[in-house]
Amino acid sequence: MSRKSSDNDYSLRSMSNLMGERRKKVNDGERSLIKAVPANAATATSTGDLEREARKQFQQDVTPAFVYVLAAFSALGGFLFGYDTGVISGAMLLLKREMNLSALWQEVLISSTVAAAALSALAGGFLNGVFGRRVCILLASFTFTSGGIVLSVAPDKEVLLVGRLIVGLGLGIASMTVPVYIAETSPPHLRGQLVTVNTLFITGGQFTASIIDGAFSYLRHNGWRYMLGLSVVPAVLQFVGFLFLPESPRWLIQKGLTQKARRVLSQIRGNQNIDEEYDSIKNSIEEEEKDCGGDGPVIWRMLTYPPTRRALLVGCGLQMFQQLSGINTVMYYGATILQMSGVRDDKLAIWLAGVTAFTNFLFTLLGVWLVERVGRRKLTLGSIIGTCLSLSLLAIGFLLSAQHTPPVTLHPTDPSIVNSTCNRHLLCEPCMLDPACGFCYRENSTALFASSCVPVNTASTEKAAWGRCSNSTQLRVHTYWAYNYCPTSYSWVVLLGLVLYLAFFAPGMGPMPWTINSEIYPLWARSTGNACSAGVNWTFNFLVSLTFLHVAQNLTYYGAFFLYSSLALLGFFFIYGCLPETKGRRLEEIESLFDNQLCSCGATDSDEDRQVEYIRVKGSNYHLSDNDASDVE
């Protein structure tokens, strides 16, 4: 099954094909050479206009703009993923007032989408295999459009729930199909970057959602309809775009639609010779059918065939640890964390949550830049260790706040409320962690005074059931109601932890699980593998975000973040042990990385030391540097 031995042959053959094509185009006086050199050999580069021109020409030849168009239209799926998961928090602030939603209904509306996404991601594997990537992306954008329309016209909470479920179905399918489609249409040297762009669009969608939330939060009546409904715009754009975009050539070859596949390959590879790629995909499909044949559903064949079983474990493990490192507690509860750091105004907290989303977006951009430079393995390892440390810093910030939590100085009681636990709390921290109570206090510029722990209003957590903090007008005159935070002077530690967390998480742990999953399975197992790992991602997203507040209540905030930090540390050991480097390899050869034992701590018996360097000679010698060598694979 292993094709390792032929890797070098392949590069050389593919080079000569490429060269063959080029020879047709070059002028009479132009000559071409191929030379295999050790990667670390010094390259005597003569820079200058000629070389720059050659490199530009070379890269243009290799990557037609059409590949970028495909990636951008597909990544609109990522944008919708980010937008639809991000927009709900701001919309909820308006919805709960307008529709008088109980806490349970709020939770149901938020988590129903994530749960539906988990199920449809699993179903997406089957749909992808049978109908192809393009049809699935069309289906997802159609679903997003319908969901957006239902949400924007919803007359009551039941219809809202239907809309959120529909959106979730679209999310699941898009989240597993888009990375696969981009990976299958990209050339190897750009694959990592283009699939990572999809996660850039996810975080871009989350950031846009926070801006839209901020802008429409001023429209108290019906503002949520615009927030939820605006997702229709990118969804329609993607739908229309995909009516004209082609199917993945790999899927077409698998289905025996060879002529069509050749047409698409020529379209996406520009003036390159496509024979090599076509043959390689075809051979690998035939080989796979022979080797891992056997009957039964794909998932069964994957589990009983060691290389795919190992790939599946790595893929699902990565997705699980992405969510266990707590990204969505930060994305969904960012406003609460910001309130802890002293931002008490709701609207300001919404806008600042936008800053959090922007930081996530900005650092994902760094990931796009790094992925082909440092490779997937190093990027993911560096990211998770930084994530683990910054989670500890966040936890330390919360711990310091808890240790210096302000005392309760007033103990008012309302005889109409019996059995309240609130008047038993002597400090802000336990009062705030008790879901039935909140901390009501006054503050002048230097100190906090007249603080009490009183029951929360059952209809809205934004005010107390009675007393000074039960009336929003009174709340404005230096009296504050803290339901899920305690005033603290250690907010800067929390803020620093938050920023560092995003700076480390976003370039690696955010995008890499999606990118790596799109490339580690052989074609026959690719849709099922991605369906399973995306399903794992959504399931853990659901579990972590749903349990965050309960975990915080039972373990305190610092306990919760120490927990996520330890889980990230476990993730580090898992990744260190089991994740091989896939950078620069063709999809067809990545499978061989899982031929041997599951965890080899990144060591592969590959030909990493040798690369092929392409030299074109036209009048004088000029050649591509080591970095560019992968361009010609």
Binding site for ligand INS (CB under 6 A): 199, 202-203, 206, 322, 327-328, 331, 360, 510-511, 514, 537, 541
| Residue among 327 and 408 whose Cβ is closer to ligand INS | 327
DSSP string, 575-602: HHHH----TT--HHHHGGGGSS-S--TT
CA-based R_g, the chain, Å: 27
**Pairing state of beta strands 31-38 and 610-618?**
antiparallel
CB of 251 to ligand INS, least distance (A): 24
* Helix, strand and coil percent figures for the chain, each rounded to 5: 70, 5, 25
| Residue among 186 and 198 whose Cβ is closer to ligand INS | 198
Going from the C-alpha of 367 to that of each of 203, 376, 509, 511, the distances in angstroms are: 12, 10, 9, 7
| Residue among 305 and 333 whose Cβ is closer to ligand INS | 333
CB of 361 to ligand INS, least distance (A): 9
Cβ–Cβ < 8 Å for 178, 120: no
Using CB positions, name the residue nearest to ligand INS.
Answer: 510
| Residue among 66 and 358 whose Cβ is closer to ligand INS | 358
CB of 461 to ligand INS, least distance (A): 24
Using CB atoms within 10 A of its CB, is residue 631 exposed (0-12), middle (13-18) or buried (19+)? buried
What value, to the nearest 5°, has the Cα angle with vertex 542 and ends 538 and 545? 130
Which of these, 425, 428, 423, 422, lies nearest to 404 by C-alpha position?
A: 428
| Residue among 281 and 331 whose Cβ is closer to ligand INS | 331
**What number of other Cβ atoms are within 10 A of residue 465's Cβ?**
20
CB of 476 to ligand INS, least distance (A): 34
| Tokens linked to 497 | 């932890």
| Tokens linked to 188 | 């190897």
What burial letters (b/e) apply to 287-310, b meaning 16+ CB within 10 Å? ebeeebeeeeebbebbeebebbbb
40: DSSP letter = T
Please report the sign of the dihedral spanned by the C-alpha atoms of residue 350, residue 113, residue 541, residue 456. Answer: positive
| Residue among 485 and 504 whose Cβ is closer to ligand INS | 504
Cβ–Cβ < 8 Å for 219, 93: no
What gap in Å lies between CA 484 and CA 498, rounded to an integer? 17
Going from the C-alpha of 199 to that of each of 176, 360, 478, 507, 600, the distances in angstroms are: 12, 10, 42, 10, 28
CB of 326 to ligand INS, least distance (A): 10
**What number of other Cβ atoms are within 10 A of residue 345's Cβ?**
10
| Residue among 89 and 203 whose Cβ is closer to ligand INS | 203
What gap in Å lies between CA 257 and CA 331, rounded to an integer? 43
Which of these, 227, 230, 198, 232, lies nearest to 215 by C-alpha position?
A: 227
CB of 404 to ligand INS, least distance (A): 32
DSSP string, 506-522: TTTTTTHHHHHHTTSS-
| Residue among 541 and 582 whose Cβ is closer to ligand INS | 541
Torsion angles phi and psi, residue 403, rounded to 5:
-70, -25
CB of 282 to ligand INS, least distance (A): 33
| Residue among 63 and 199 whose Cβ is closer to ligand INS | 199
| Tokens linked to 467 | 């007393």
CB of 104 to ligand INS, least distance (A): 23
| Residue among 322 and 339 whose Cβ is closer to ligand INS | 322
CB of 509 to ligand INS, least distance (A): 7
CB of 536 to ligand INS, least distance (A): 11
| Tokens linked to 190 | 């750009």
| Residue among 131 and 358 whose Cβ is closer to ligand INS | 358
Using CB atoms within 10 A of its CB, is residue 311 exposed (0-12), middle (13-18) or buried (19+)? buried
| Residue among 491 and 565 whose Cβ is closer to ligand INS | 565
| Residue among 202 and 349 whose Cβ is closer to ligand INS | 202
What gap in Å lies between CA 266 and CA 268, rounded to an integer? 6
| Residue among 128 and 541 whose Cβ is closer to ligand INS | 541
CB of 275 to ligand INS, least distance (A): 37
What gap in Å lies between CA 539 and CA 461, rounded to an integer? 28
CB of 144 to ligand INS, least distance (A): 17
CB of 78 to ligand INS, least distance (A): 9
CB of 271 to ligand INS, least distance (A): 35
CB of 162 to ligand INS, least distance (A): 23
| Residue among 89 and 284 whose Cβ is closer to ligand INS | 89
